[in-house]
């Protein structure tokens, strides 16, 4: 399993559009991608669940990736966070 | 005649019949079904139809209002693909053996309540999006596509509030104006109205039960008023104003979408000068290739204290997002001279035009400058930003600017805030800058000539002094010679040169500028299409 922490810099947090793009990105991979904030977590392939985490600017999220292509998936998701959130 | 005032989000005028839209809650009946799988299939088919509708709306919105505002429909499509949402509908149909419409309605309510209950205003507002997609899905499932949004003749739409999809879905040719009781200037609907160039008044305190479809009304976005059942005099006056506007528009729109290219094939970029976010509608309406001069002063004027980094960031971001990939050149603070602001405490000067102003303030009070640079760099990731510095007279000033920009970038880097490297250019508006443009060209990405100040400083003529009018010659050969020097020096180092002063829109000089090799002309939005017309006539 691969994982990383990320502090959200976008001023409205993980809002609808980046959440949607994140879902698209996550769906490209076999691996399961989960995003956790505090004790809540959501599969990155589920838009409303991701938005439902209510991630705001300054929040730290933990992203966990597990599966056959986890290295590539983790790298891609990390890049996605850095350039969009 | 009954008159109401509201906040105008697009300054246009309209007259015509009223259509009152009332949101009647759709009552959905719960029915027991024998074959739940058939209902599941109806939902799946409905999702497909809804997706197609949303894709069409998205494409329509891109053309009409630009990519940034259209994104809402992309989000709606993504929401409609959400596994949890769809599974909840399917599970309910199977477990409770209920009809598709009912399952969609209940699931939509549940999900929308989940968002409405979140402790975040942004997420709370998403409840409306979920309602919007659920209503759409319900209509697709029941095959009931009858919408009260189809009306026969061009009308003034009066409603409590309008959802983005309602706004875009309406046939633009049949909308004369929007009048809503609620809504904020930054709501999707306001932004859409502005982008679509439709007169719109929001926050109008009227009782929807007191106005009826079929009444006549006048919407005057310039005065911010709507008049129901206007008298004959008001009607005639309005018709006259509208006719004038239309004639102007018609002429210009023949050139919309065409290239700024001479007969021999040389292309010139024609950009817009703007002084505030409110002008963006005109920029798009007039088909500008970008924004060549965004005067950031508006953020500082008309207030009691400095604008915060966040306020500035939001303003820049909005402009950049709206313009998408098109270039947006934001000029840093140009306060001083004829633009005085009390809280800067600049003091009275004998000769303000040659005084403590623009980049001089920024270099002596770097805190003010840094706040603006931080806001600009943070916003840079949202579009195609260039930064332009005013009133440059020396190489050392540019070096100092770059040192401060470097400090700001380092700070942002430490805070892990991402930004894109913007193009950085300078205004050429002092004779000194012209004379050393050879050296400056090696330091910057572009030049933009501020002809108003350059003329004033070169001819030593105070433009505020009427007595000097007879000596003032805007076409003075000294100025034209300078523009040639500037252009040649820019090109020597592979940089581009433009004009953002008044001379840029002087159609008598367009041919001269094109022959000189000028790469860009930035003018007020209303001059863009006349300038395009002129360029296209040059051999």
What pLDDT, on the 0 to 100 scale, is given for residue B147? Answer: 60
User: B393 vs A49, which has greater pLDDT?
Assistant: B393
Span B181-190, mean pLDDT?
69
Average pLDDT over residues B152-178: 82
Q: Which residue has the higher pLDDT, B145 or B424?
A: B424
Beta strands in B258-395 (DSSP E): 269-274, 290-295, 327-331, 384-389
Q: Is the per-residue pLDDT at B372 higher than 90?
A: yes
pLDDT at B148: 61
Helix, strand, coil share (%) of chain A residues, nearest 5:
40, 25, 35
pLDDT at B44 over 90: yes
Residues 6+ apart with CB under 8 A from B412: B374, B377, B378, B419
Q: State how far the Cα of B371 lies from the Cα of B501, in Å rounded to an integer.
A: 27
Interface check for B122 against chain A (CB to CB < 8 A): the answer is yes
Instruction: Give the pLDDT of residue B459.
Output: 94
Lowest mean pLDDT among A50-59, B115-124, B432-441: B115-124
In which residue are the tokens 């209940």 written? B106
Q: Which residue shows structure tokens 């990736």? A: A65
ipTM of this complex: 0.86
Helices and strands counted in chain A (H then E): 3, 4
| Contact criterion met (CB < 8 Å) for A17 and B71 | yes
Chain A residue with Cα closest to B117: A52
Confidence of residue B140 (pLDDT cuts 50, 70, 90): confident
Which of the four pLDDT bands, split at 50, 70 and 90, describes residue B23? low
CA B345 to chain centre: 32
CB contact under 8 A, B310 and A23: no
Per the model's pLDDT, the better-predicted residue between B538 and B169 turns out to be B538
C-alpha B89: how far from its chain's center? Answer: 39
- Measured CA to CA, the distance from residue B320 to residue B272 in angstroms comes to 14
Nearest CA-CA distance, residue B510 and chain A, Å: 42
| Tens digits of residue pLDDT in B301-310 | 777 889 999 9
Instruction: Write the pLDDT tens digit of every residue in B268-304.
Output: 999 999 887 878 888 988 889 999 999 998 788 777 8
Q: Is pLDDT at B26 greater than 70 in this prediction?
A: no
Segment B531-538 shows an average pLDDT of: 92
Q: How far apart are CA B316 and CA B330, in angstroms?
A: 8
| Least confident span in B156-170, B307-321, B418-432, B492-506 | B156-170
- Please give the radius of gyration of chain B, using alpha carbons only, rounded to the nearest integer: 27
In terms of CA atoms, which chain B residue is nearest residue A12?
B122
Q: Determine whether A15 is an active site residue.
A: yes
| B119 shares contact with chain A (CB less than 8 Å) | yes
- Interchain proximity B114–A52, CB inside 8 Å: yes
| Amino acid B364: pLDDT | 93
Q: Which of B126, B310, B416 sits opposite A16 (nearest CB)?
A: B126
Catalytic choice (A1, A2, A3, A15): A15
């Amino acid at each position: 399993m691969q994982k990383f922490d990320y502090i959200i810099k976008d001023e409205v947090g993980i809002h609808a559009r980046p959440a949607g793009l994140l879902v698209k990105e996550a769906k490209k991979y076999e691996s399961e991608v989960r995003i956790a904030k505090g004790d809540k977590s959501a599969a990155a392939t589920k838009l409303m669940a991701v938005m439902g985490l209510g991630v705001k600017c300054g929040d730290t999220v933990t992203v966990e990736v597990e599966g056959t292509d986890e290295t590539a998936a983790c790298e891609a998701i990390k890049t996605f966070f850095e350039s969009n959130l | 005649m009954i008159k109401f005032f509201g906040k105008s989000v697009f300054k246009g005028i309209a007259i015509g019949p009223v259509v009152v839209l009332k949101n009647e809650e759709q009552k959905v009946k719960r029915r027991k079904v024998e074959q739940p799988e058939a209902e599941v299939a109806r939902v799946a088919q409905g999702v497909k139809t809804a997706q197609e509708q949303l894709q069409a709306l998205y494409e329509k919105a891109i053309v009409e209002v630009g990519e940034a505002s259209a994104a809402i429909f992309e989000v709606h499509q993504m929401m409609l693909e959400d596994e949890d949402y769809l599974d909840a509908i399917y599970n309910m149909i199977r477990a409770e053996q209920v009809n598709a419409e009912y399952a969609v309605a209940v699931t939509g309510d549940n999900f929308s309540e989940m968002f409405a209950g979140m402790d975040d205003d942004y997420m709370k507002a998403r409840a409306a999006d979920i309602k919007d997609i659920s209503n759409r899905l319900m209509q697709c499932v029941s095959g009931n596509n009858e919408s009260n949004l189809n009306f026969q003749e061009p009308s003034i739409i009066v409603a409590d509030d309008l959802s983005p999809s309602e706004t875009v879905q309406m046939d633009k040719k049949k909308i004369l104006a929007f009048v809503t009781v609620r809504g904020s200037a930054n709501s999707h609907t306001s932004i859409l109205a502005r982008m679509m160039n439709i007169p719109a008044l929001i926050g109008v305190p009227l009782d929807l039960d007191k106005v009826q479809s079929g009444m006549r009304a006048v919407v005057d976005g310039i005065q911010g008023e709507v008049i129901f059942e206007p008298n004959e005099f008001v009607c005639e006056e309005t018709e006259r104003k509208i006719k004038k506007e239309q004639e102007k528009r018609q002429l210009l729109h023949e050139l919309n979408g065409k290239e700024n290219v001479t007969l021999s094939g040389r292309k010139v970029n024609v950009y817009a000068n703007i002084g505030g976010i409110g002008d963006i509608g005109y920029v798009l309406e007039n088909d500008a290739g970008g924004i060549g001069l965004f005067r950031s002063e508006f953020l500082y004027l008309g207030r009691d204290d400095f604008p915060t980094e966040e306020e500035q960031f939001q303003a820049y971001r909005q402009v950049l997002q709206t313009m998408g990939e098109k270039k947006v050149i934001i000029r840093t603070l140009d306060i001083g001279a004829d633009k005085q602001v009390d809280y800067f405490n600049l003091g009275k000067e004998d000769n303000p035009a040659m005084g403590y102003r623009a980049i001089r303030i920024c270099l002596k009070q770097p805190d003010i400058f840094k706040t603006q640079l931080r806001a600009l760099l943070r916003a840079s990731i949202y579009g195609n930003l260039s930064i332009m510095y005013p009133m440059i007279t020396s190489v050392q000033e540019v070096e100092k600017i770059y040192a401060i920009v470097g400090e700001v970038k380092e700070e942002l880097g430490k805070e892990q805030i991402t930004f894109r490297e913007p193009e950085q250019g300078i205004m050429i508006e002092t004779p000194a800058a012209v004379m050393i443009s050879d050296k400056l060209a090696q330091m910057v990405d572009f030049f933009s000539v501020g002809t108003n100040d350059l003329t004033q400083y070169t001819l030593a003529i105070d433009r505020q002094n009427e007595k000097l009018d007879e000596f003032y010659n805007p076409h003075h050969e000294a100025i034209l010679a300078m523009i040639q020097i500037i252009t040649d020096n820019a090109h020597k180092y592979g940089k581009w040169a433009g004009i953002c002063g008044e001379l840029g829109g002087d159609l008598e000089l367009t041919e001269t500028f094109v022959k000189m090799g000028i790469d860009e002309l930035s003018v007020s939005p209303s001059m863009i299409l006349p300038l395009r017309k002129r360029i296209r006539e040059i051999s």
